[in-house]
Chain A
Amino acid sequence: MNSAQDPDRGNRKLVVFGILGVTVLAMASMAIGKYSVPPSAILRVLFAGLTGGQPDVDPIQQTVIWNVRLPRVIAGLLIGAALAAAGATYQGLFRNPLVSPDILGVSAGASLGAVLAIFLKMPVPVIQLMSFFGGLLAVAAVYGVGAAVRGRDPVLTLVLAGVAIGAIVGAGISLVKILADPYDQLPAITYWLLGSLTAVTRADVGSILPAMVIGLLPLVALRWRMNVMTLGDEEAQTLGVDTRLMRLALIFGATLITAASVSIAGIVGWVGLVIPHVARLLVGPDFRRLLPAALLLGGGYMLVVDTLARSVALAEIPLGILTAVVGAPFFLWLLASGKRGWS
């Protein structure tokens, strides 16, 4: 046995292969669609876009790639990666494999924000903004309750506070739905709640990028300590870990990237629950390997789903429907096959 081997070394191969795979998927996703574009044209458009030149291709192809599909592909990658990373973090932090990124009410809060904004006939950027802050606010409320309750298992307190606050927020969403105009606003609300990347622009991608980077920082920086957190609060403390600070930093990061994702794509379920399981199955539970694996798998998976969403039917299928139809049976298969990354 090579006991002094550095586990980070095996990591590099994984990351390189993952990035290659995701790049191929991204190219395919840009080529596929109602208006199909050959890969050579995609490369020319990308090259010209990056260097500021004028590509030697059909202007329609250029518009389709540069203004429509590229932002959508990047948004899909970011969102899939973020949801999977947040899910992996929460599953470890709450020591529960059934946890998804919405455990602390981030999706519910974001939904209420967005739904309210749609109800108040706000423009799209305001909908995104209200959704983003709605998500953060809900988690802040849950965390506040959790921190105020002393002398109980802090992890359990957080989960239960999340359930309760999620219920209150859910009541608010239902109320807005009842009050909303059934011909105009209600379909928009329903569509938002099912998730979609249809209307994503380059500006949207730019607007969530800072939150994504800031949110991912603590997850990357604390990737080894995250392992210790899976032992539970008291054990981690006896090993010398400041669990309160760790929990705060990790929840902050995971919440930020989830809220940013939800704010432009709506609710895309199942990615944050299923992808961490697949990643754990492939690379094991060590967060140093689990995090990059979840990021890459989540991004790649979201690309595939979004490409399907806009190409299998005449009308676009909401992402939430596809991720549930693909994710839930896969999850059941995982359960039945016993190929689980937990016990």
Chain B
Amino acid sequence: MLELRDLAFGYGTRQVGGGVSLILRPGEVLALLGPNGAGKTTLFKTMLGLLAPLGGEVFLDTAPLETLDRKERARCIAYVPQAHAALFPFTVRDVVLMGRAAQVAPFSAPGRTDREVASAALERLGMAHLSDRPYTEISGGERQMTLIARALAQQPKVLVMDEPAASLDYGNQMRVLGHVRRLASEGMAVVLSTHNPDHVFMVADRVAMLHEGRLAGLGAPADVLTVERVKQLYNIEVVMGVLPGGSSKVCSPRLGPGD
């Protein structure tokens, strides 16, 4: 599906990271965990073709990313940015319709099929009732869902989500993660970045840990996301375990007297 081969990434001549190899499979949620500055965003931009690789290659199915034009990429791989404030009050439906840009001929506007795809995307996420609301007036959680709907309107095979749960309240975090899990179970390949080990345990099939631009571990969360690893990544002491009645492992910090 999406494959990184010995990928080196960075801006211009400044290399941020390298040696990253991994394969993303359909129906899988891969979490990218790493501290600020570890290179998560740069890696994402390289995966999306916004930055040229400084070494190695990105493959979409079997085609190297740079052989595909922007439209072909957009039909295959969709980016979900962090819920942001928009400047102009486009309706939720209009924002989702923008996901059809790669399908619409340059000089025309979305047609009936595009509007139906957009409506279906909103429907799928239970957002249809907000279709006519201005994007600027809905909550942060609803904006995040709108952006996911926009990505679904691209009808991609891969979703790249930049900290989808950040900046949301607790309830919305869980709802967004729930939707991510459901999309994967329907066959979507998802790669998302996060800071929260709990979220990794909750949604990810595999976790890739990024430390100073290099992979510090890759595998099932239960196997590789350990107390020692969290200590290495974030320099903080934690304990992990499943709470009585809980469904997935949680991670809890142990703040010493000096912290």
Contact = CB atoms under 8 A, between A and B. Distances in A.
Interface of A: 1, 3-6, 8, 92, 95-97, 150-151, 221-225, 227-228, 230-231, 234-242, 280, 284-286, 288, 341-343
A337 to B, nearest CB: 15
Given A8-B109, A224-B109, A225-B101, A1 B94 contact: no
A341 B89 contact: yes
Nearest to A280: B88
Contact of B154 (A239, A242, A288): A239
Contacts of A286: 90, 94
B30 interface: no
A231 B98 contact: yes
Contacts of B75: 240
A241 B107 CA distance: 12
Contacts, number: 101
B93 interface: yes
B153 to A, nearest CB: 9
Contact of B102 (A95, A221, A239, A280): A239
A285 B89 contact: yes
Contacts of A223: 109
Contacts of A239: 74, 98-99, 101-102, 150, 154
Given A238-B79, A239-B101, A4 B48 contact: no
Contacts of A285: 88-90
8 contacts: A1-B131, A4-B112, A97-B87, A150-B12, A228-B101, A237-B50, A285-B90, A342-B89
B244 interface: no
Nearest to B154: A239
B73 interface: yes
- Majority secondary structure, A binding face: loop
A4 B97 CA distance: 11
A224 B79 contact: no
A11 B91 CA distance: 16
A222 B101 CA distance: 12
Interface string B79-90: 101000111111
Given A234-B45, A234-B50, A240 B88 contact: no
Given A222-B107, A227-B94, A343-B89, A238 B132 contact: no
Contacts of A97: 87
Nearest to A8: B109
A3 B149 CA distance: 15
Contacts of B78: 238
Nearest to B112: A4
A260 B56 CA distance: 50
A224 B108 contact: yes
Contacts of A242: 70
Nearest to B74: A240
A341 B136 CA distance: 10
B26 interface: no
Contacts of B115: 3-6
Nearest to B132: A1
Contacts of A228: 98, 101
A227 B90 contact: yes
Q: Among the interface residues A95, A221, A224, A225, which one has the most CB atoms of the partner chain B within 10 A?
A: A224
Contacts of B109: 8, 223-224, 288
Given A221-B107, A241-B70, A230 B93 contact: no
A153 to B, nearest CB: 12
| Ranked 5 nearest A-B pairs via Cβ | A240-B102, A240-B74, A285-B88, A224-B109, A238-B79
Contacts of B136: 343
Contacts of B73: 238, 240
